[in-house]
Amino acid sequence: MSNPLPGSIEDTVGLLSDGRYVADRSLATALYLALKLGRPLFLEGEAGVGKTEIAKVLSDTLGRRLIRLQCYEGLDVASAVYEWNYSRQMIDIRIAEAAGDQDRDSLEKTIFSEEFLIKRPLLQALEPDLSGEAPVLLIDELDRTDEPFEAFLLEVLSDFQVTIPEIGTITAEKPPIVIITSNRTREIHDAIKRRCFYYWVDYPDAKRELEILAVKCPDAPQDMSRQIVAFVQRLREKDLFKLPGVAETIDWTNALVQLDRIDLDPQTVNDTLGTLLKYQDDIEKIKGSEAANLLEQVKADLAAR
């Protein structure tokens, strides 16, 4: 069963929170407007800040099918939109030959019909699901593709239709809800951004990150969660190759819960840094005295409250 779209910004906050997603008001506003205006939502931000999760939560809470197009370098129409099922076409040709069927035109019509079409995410997204509702289309990590694909995508997004020379134009009766994400390894073309509602997903502040831990890691002791969040927030001020995202905060917390910790100590921090930092240079930089300093500051901050 699908649910109606949220009717207000408060509803949107509530919808996300039903999906265990802690959103601040500005994000809920962007999402509400994108849904209301029927425009794609373009989410940009560092890795691990919760961009992809928004599409998953929307699909869950709205009860709509999630169609995911994971972008990568060299992504082409055959993988993104459709492809003919060549092997099935070959089999049909052989069968026709064996049966002495000479009618080329009718054979061609048969093998270039929808039955022989392999539908990829962008084409699937133009079709309603069983309840007649349009799906949620997640175009994930668009910055990984190249510009020709972006230009093509722009066409699809402008009128939600795809033309297949042998069949004709397929148009979505109800346009899908589109979420586009980018980790900003390169700039996405203005033309795409202009078509979308743009939102920069930042690292959460301490208050919100603590709320996220309360939802995602309910088994972690409150005091330790506070220390974890304060530590990660301070770590994000350091000059590192890759700062930890929310995903890493959650991983770290789960690791500490597994180790039955109720409090951070320097040894444990050192031993578990690999859940927070994913580059050896970053780990070397923080491990030992730097980590001990950070931890001391964190404990002093928390004691002063």
Ligand X SMILES: Nc1ncnc2c1ncn2[C@@H]1O[C@H](COP(=O)(O)OP(=O)(O)O)[C@@H](O)[C@H]1O
52 binds Mg ion (CB under 5 A): yes
Region from 15-23, 29-37, 150-158, 271-279 binding ligand X, contact rule CB under 6 A: 15-23
Region from 3-11, 85-93, 144-152, 209-217 binding ligand X, contact rule CB under 6 A: 209-217
Quick note: the x/- pattern for ligand X over 165-204, rule CB under 6 A, is ----------------x-----------------------
d(CA 284, CA 280): 6
Q: How far is the CB of 51 from Mg ion (least distance, A)?
A: 5
CB 145 within 8 A of CB 183: no
d(CA 209, CA 176): 31
49 binds ligand X (CB under 6 A): yes
Taking CB atoms, the residue at the shortest distance from ligand X is: 50
248 binds ligand X (CB under 6 A): no
Q: CB under 5 to 8 A by kind: which of ligand X, Mg ion, none does 139 bind?
A: none
Q: How far is the CB of 252 from ligand X (least distance, A)?
A: 12
Helices (H), the chain: 9-18, 25-37, 51-62, 77-80, 86-98, 104-111, 121-124, 147-159, 190-195, 206-216, 222-235, 246-258, 266-272, 280-286, 289-303
Q: Which is nearer to ligand X, 216 or 299 (CB)?
A: 216
Region from 48-56, 58-66, 120-128, 234-242 binding Mg ion, contact rule CB under 5 A: 48-56
For residue 259, give the 3-state DSSP assignment. Answer: coil
Closest residue by Cα to residue 250 from 282, 281, 284, 220: 220
DSSP code per residue over 148-183:
HHHHHHHHHHHHSEEEETTTEEEE-SSPPEEEEEE-
Residues near ligand X (CB under 6 A) are 21-23, 45, 47-53, 181, 212, 215-216, 246-247, 250
